[in-house]
């Protein structure tokens, strides 16, 4: 990959970082924090600098091409006596048989002149079947491949145009993506370390302390208590073989590759954030040492979810996290939630009606897709366990889950993996990791129940 291609890849990466910063603030329905605004300004400034660098290098490259072009004398053929010279049609194809690859718009340049994913795939297939008919758009934009390279495909592969890379990333960061709600940090290397302070404001020992003292007395000293949290990136991949029959159907090809690969990766990320083991993948909520489990109601029927369960779980969520918390539930829990309610009584214990815990979508201006429970949005995901088992309902403040992502989705295609079967291999790679910020539940000053940003409900069997 030459320097201009590397800079263009960097532009795509910077664009994804900018979108990620803004998307996080939008998901939390707030303005950018000062540190986020500073980071965004730096990213946008670097974007402008890289863009200017690309323009400068392209101009230098164009000058070099003009200087190296042959300047031989061209003698036009002379018509025979009494014969008029034939006019050259305006839209005639070049005599050397090459496609005119001049791209007039930014969108065309981002797609390298291809109309859609199917058009690109068809060109790749044609290059395999008949190398002499190689599409010039592939030759001009072919990525140099070396063994072990992260930025290119298999030996002889062609890089998928940037437009389809960002299309896959949009699917992973879609509306139902749990990743979009986490504390998402970008990293340029393979490992990143964060200093963490897990002391509470009411903690009387360890960390920074405050004291009441009298005039002229010596002020007591204290110091911060910090620990290190180190995250090493893991890799999520998808390999999609595409047959000749699929390549012949260009519209179906575009939908197949983008939706299927993106759908699979989106679920894998959601599942890892909830159930990940922390070995070669993120540490999920269910396996995190800071997660607390609320006991079921006495004599509770198996495979049920009661209003008392929801109230008990909310009581373990730190008050500062109420506004950011969401309910993660399995589809099997939905019928139980739709019927949730509680009895309303007077001070004397006389029944005075009933109250609803569940509000449907758009109820009282609530815009949640699946409605809300105790005022907090509900997210339905297959990553949660089935009804009655631990993990079927999770109350989580996902802003307290640290996710680290490197760049954007990388997409490559190789025409050589299954060359003998006339099948192309499309490969998608995402590098990320994550885990909750806390290493243990929060100790309280007054009270015995330990709060946490992640609460589950014990098995009801």
Read off the pLDDT of residues 439-461 as tens digits, 9 standing for 90 and up.
Answer: 899 888 888 889 999 999 999 98
Q: What gap in Å lies between CA 399 and CA 317, rounded to an integer?
A: 13
pLDDT bin (cut points 50, 70, 90) of residue 292 is very high
Instruction: Reply yes or no on whether the pLDDT at 89 is more than 70.
Output: no
Q: Is residue 353 part of a domain?
A: yes
Q: Which of 75-84, 255-264, 358-367 has the highest mean pLDDT?
A: 255-264
What pLDDT is stored for residue 234 in this prediction?
93
Q: Which domain holds residue 362?
A: 285-404+437-457
Q: Note whether 256 and 381 are same-domain residues.
A: no
Instruction: Confirm whether 174 is domain-assigned.
Output: yes
Judgement on whether residues 36 and 120 belong to the same structural domain of the protein: yes
How is residue 283 annotated by DSSP? B
The yes-or-no verdict on residue 148 having pLDDT over 60 is no
Q: Do 343 and 376 belong together in one domain?
A: yes
d(CA 157, CA 153): 5
335 and 448 in a single domain? The answer is: yes
Query: Is residue 256 a part of any domain in this protein?
Result: yes
Q: Model's pTM, two decimal places?
A: 0.62
Task: Identify the CA nearest to 311 among candidates 108, 457, 169, 211.
Answer: 457
The answer to whether 37 and 180 are in contact (CB under 8 A) is no
- Evaluate whether residue 361 is within a structural domain: yes
Angle formed at CA 304 by CA 301 and CA 307, multiple of 5 degrees:
105
* 202 falls within a domain: no
Phi/psi of residue 307, each to 5°? Answer: -60, -35
pLDDT tens, 194-239? 887 777 777 777 778 787 888 878 888 877 777 778 889 999 988 8
Q: What is the pLDDT of residue 100?
A: 47
User: Distance between alpha carbon 128 and the CA centroid of its chain, in Å?
Assistant: 33
Using CA atoms, how far apart are residues 173 and 167, in angstroms rounded to an integer? 10
Residue 70 lies in a domain: no
Pick the residue with more confidence: 79 or 9?
9
Amino acid 415: pLDDT: 65
Which structure tokens are listed for 185? Answer: 């940090």
Instruction: Specify whether 254 is located in the same domain as 344.
Output: no
Q: Are residues 347 and 451 in the same domain?
A: yes
Residues 422 and 325 in one domain: no
pLDDT of residue 191: 86
Same domain, 427 and 356: no
CA-to-CA distance for 269 and 383, rounded, in angstroms? 10
Share of residues in the chain with pLDDT > 70 (%): 71
Neighbours of 54 (CB within 10 A): 18
The whole-number pLDDT of residue 156 equals 41
pLDDT above 90: percentage of residues in the chain: 24
What total number of domains does the chain contain? 2
Q: Average per-residue pLDDT in the chain?
A: 77
The predicted model gives 373-392 an average pLDDT of 92
Contact 428, 237 (CB under 8 A): yes
- Is the confidence at residue 317, as pLDDT, over 90? yes
What pLDDT, on the 0 to 100 scale, is given for residue 27?
79
Confidence of residue 329 (pLDDT cuts 50, 70, 90): very high
**SS3 for 113?**
coil
**Among 5-19, 121-135, 258-272, 381-395, the least confident range:** 121-135
357 with 252: CB under 8 angstroms? no
CA dihedral 106, 108, 112, 118 (to 10 degrees): 140
User: Three-class SS of residue 8?
Assistant: helix
Please check whether residue 397 lies inside any domain of the structure. Answer: yes
Nearest to 23 by CA among 136, 180, 158, 135: 180
Whether residue 155 is found in the same domain as residue 255: yes
Query: Regarding predicted confidence, which is higher, 245 or 14?
Result: 14
Q: Are 453 and 328 contained in the same domain?
A: yes
Residues 16 and 152 in one domain: yes
Distance CA 308, CA 71 (A): 86
User: Which structure tokens are listed for 233?
Assistant: 């990136």
434 with 401: CB under 8 angstroms?
A: yes
Report which DSSP code applies to 78: P
In the structure, what pLDDT confidence band is assigned to residue 96 with cuts at 50, 70 and 90?
Answer: very low
Using the predicted structure, report yes or no on whether residue 274 has a pLDDT greater than 90.
yes
d(CA 175, CA 181): 10
The reply to whether 416 and 305 lie within a common domain is no
Residue 20 included in any domain: yes
């Amino acid at each position: 990959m030459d320097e201009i291609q590397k800079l263009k890849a960097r532009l795509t990466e910077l664009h994804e970082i900018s979108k990620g910063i803004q998307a996080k603030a939008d998901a939390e329905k707030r303005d950018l924090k000062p540190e986020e605004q500073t980071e965004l300004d730096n990213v946008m400034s670097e974007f402008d600098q890289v863009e200017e660098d690309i323009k400068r290098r392209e101009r230098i490259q164009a000058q070099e091409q003009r200087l190296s072009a042959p300047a031989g004398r061209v003698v036009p053929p002379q018509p025979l006596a009494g014969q008029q010279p034939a006019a050259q049609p305006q839209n005639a194809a070049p005599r050397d048989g090459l496609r005119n690859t001049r791209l007039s718009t930014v969108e065309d340049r981002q797609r390298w002149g291809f109309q859609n994913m199917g058009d690109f795939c068809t060109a790749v297939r044609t290059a395999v079947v008949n190398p002499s008919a190689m599409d010039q758009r592939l030759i001009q934009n072919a990525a140099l491949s070396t063994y072990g390279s992260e930025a290119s495909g298999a030996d002889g592969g062609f890089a998928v145009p940037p437009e389809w890379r960002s299309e896959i990333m949009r699917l992973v960061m879609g509306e139902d993506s749990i990743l979009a709600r986490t504390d998402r940090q970008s990293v340029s290397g393979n490992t990143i370390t964060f200093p963490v302070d897990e002391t509470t404001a009411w903690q009387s020992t360890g960390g920074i302390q405050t004291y009441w003292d009298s005039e002229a007395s010596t002020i007591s000293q204290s110091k911060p208590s910090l620990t290190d949290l180190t995250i090493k990136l893991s890799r999520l991949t998808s390999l999609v073989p595409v047959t000749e029959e699929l390549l012949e159907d260009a519209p179906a090809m575009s939908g197949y590759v983008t939706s299927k690969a993106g759908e699979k990766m989106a679920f894998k990320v959601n599942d890892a954030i909830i159930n990940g083991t922390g070995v070669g993948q993120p540490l999920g909520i269910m396996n995190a040492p800071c997660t607390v489990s609320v006991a079921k109601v006495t004599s509770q029927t198996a495979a049920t979810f009661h209003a008392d369960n929801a109230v008990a779980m909310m009581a373990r969520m730190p008050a500062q996290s109420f506004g950011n918390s969401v309910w993660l539930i399995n589809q099997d829990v939905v019928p139980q939630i739709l019927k949730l309610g509680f009895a309303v009584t007077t001070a004397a214990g006389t029944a005075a009606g009933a109250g609803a815990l569940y509000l449907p979508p758009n109820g009282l201006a609530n815009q949640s897709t699946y409605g809300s429970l105790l005022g907090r949005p509900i997210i339905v995901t297959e990553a949660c366990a089935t009804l009655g088992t631990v993990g079927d309902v999770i109350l989580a403040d996902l802003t307290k889950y640290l996710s680290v992502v490197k760049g954007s989705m990388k997409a490559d295609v190789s025409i050589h993996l299954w060359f003998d079967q006339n099948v192309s291999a499309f490969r998608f790679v995402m590098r990320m990791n994550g885990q909750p910020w806390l290493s243990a539940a929060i100790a309280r000053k007054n009270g015995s129940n330990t709060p946490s940003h992640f609460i589950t409900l014990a098995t009801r069997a």
